[in-house]
Amino acid sequence: MKSTTERPNILLIVADDMGFSDIGCFGSEIATPNLDELGYGGMRLTQMYTAARCCPSRASLLTGLYPHQAGLGHMVNDAHVGPAYQGYLRNDCVTVAEVLKTAGYTTLLSGKWHVGGNYIPNRPDTWSPGDATHPLPVQRGFDRHYGMLGGAGSYFDPPYMIRDEALIAEGGSDFYLTDQISDEAVAMLRASDAAQPFFLYVAYTAPHWPLQALPEDIAKYVGRYRDGGWDALRQRRFQRLKDLGLIAEHWELSGRDEAAPPWAEVEHKDWEDLRMAVYAAQIDRMDQGIGRMVQELKDSGRFDNTLILFISDNGGCAEFLAEDSQSPEPFRYDIPTADGRPLRIGNSPSIDPGPADTFMSYDLPWANASNTPFRLFKHWVHEGGIATPCIVHWPAVIQKGAIRHEPLHVMDLMATFAELGDAQYPAVFRGNAITPLAGESFATLLDDHTGESWQRQAPIFWEHEGNKAVRDGRWKLVRRYPGDWELYDMDADRTEVHDLAAAYPQVVQSLAQQYDAWARRCGVRQWPL
């Protein structure tokens, strides 16, 4: 690495359920000037991967392990099949906050936790924050935390937030969750000791459902998606990604998902346009908050030696929130607004999304556009579910405008941050033997000035609800549960259009054997559990 006079501050920003092409410097039409400035002024990593779902991804990025090794092999509810699926962080892992804290870092978290057990939003009487199965951020290495303990909820009227160990009631006419997460992050920066490096983890819920945004932000986008809808949007973003040099010219755009109708056949075009407009507004508002953080770093003289890394926790979300279904989602979020109005739940064209008393999603066809140029969505381990835009900005080291295409995974963040922060990943912590790191440091990849090359040493593996994959160099073996293995050449066809499994059976067999060995090592169970 290029030498610096001091260790970097680290600002890790995570969006929620945002697709690969949903910010401007990754091909989007959504206004994200602050992220674009960081992207064009730093490095864009085009093959950063997640774990396909929110809490497994967050467990992985926090611990440097695969989700199963950290206790989040499925979700935050205990599956009662062993420690790989216990639903909260295990004691044989450490968080990046715990590791950096031993090296003298101030450790801060503003936003979503979602790795500490289950919290039913409309049953706060059942909550037990801080007990053995519901560890809090301040019990896992963070000096300060403001945010939510669960996975999602109202942007205007969340059931409860927490500050360190105290639950607090929020909501009302002046409250908007994305702004509050941003403002708390800025306040934490201002209160931190300038003589001590900081690690600040900003974990947004935007743009996760429900579709709720501020009217002035929605107004910027109404009508923008009416002409051509998701079909035209996918084509525009695909070309923009090529123009930016983020995807190869010879890759094909994956086909419109078979569950998405052609835009020409859509009946409620104005309502569909509004749904995407609200989704865009949620991202826009998040970017505004990121701008305030950047300005605070500049004002305090810490910007040049702060490593800012931005990702999403998985691809765009295709979940349909149906008001007439028997699914427990979203009814567990059925909480009246602060002024007593009942929640209007579900994706009905009779309801305009956006206000506090609505609860809907933008649905599969728009998620298909968010994940341009890839197939499938959050939950699956095809590229649409696991590929995230990634920005790394660090003026003291990174050359402006750099683009890198090496395969990376969010579990690599622990090793990278520990190396940059001169922190030691422990073999034993608080009396517990700690699982060795699964991630690999990519610190040398960030320094363009040395000419050092970086190459991944081990394959990357995935499993979520029976969906499986392994990435080893140019090859990716992937299975959509309960189907068969598919094989893709990621150099020639990262959009996963041409399945080569029949043409290369020996490659399939070799990668499948590697997957099976990894699954045994990490305690992966057959699905369904």
What positions carry a catalytic annotation? 54, 114
Report DSSP letters for 371-432, one per residue: TTTS-S-TTS-SHHHHEEEEEEE-TTTSPTTEEE---EETTHHHHHHHHHTT-PPPSEETTE
Q: Specify the residue for token string 């099949």.
A: 81
Residue 177: name the closest of 150, 200, 196 by CA. Answer: 150
Query: What is the rounded distance in angstroms from the CA atom of residue 372 to the CA atom of residue 210?
Result: 22
Query: What is the rounded distance in angstroms from the CA atom of residue 469 to the CA atom of residue 466?
Result: 10
Q: Specify the residue for token string 């003298």.
A: 104
Query: What is the rounded distance in angstroms from the CA atom of residue 285 to the CA atom of residue 306?
Result: 23
Q: SS3 string of 314-367?
A: CCCCCCCCCCCCCCCCCHHHCCCCCCCCCCEECCCCCCCCECCCEECCCHHHHH
* % helix, strand, coil for the chain, step of 5: 30, 15, 55
Query: What is the rounded distance in angstroms from the CA atom of residue 93 to the CA atom of residue 436?
Result: 9
What one-character DSSP code corresponds to residue 105? -
Task: Name residues whose C-beta falls within 8 Å of residue 510's C-beta, 6 or more positions apart in sequence.
Answer: none
Report DSSP letters for 247-280, one per residue: S-TTPPPPPPPTTSPPGGG-S-HHHHHHHHHHHH
Q: What is the three-class DSSP state of 148? A: coil
Q: What is the three-class DSSP state of 189? A: helix
Count how many residues are written for the chain: 529
Structure tokens at 230: 């998701």
Query: What is the rounded distance in angstroms from the CA atom of residue 368 to the CA atom of residue 235?
Result: 12
List C-alpha distances in Å: 137 to 107, 109, 142, 206, 411.
Answer: 10, 8, 5, 20, 18
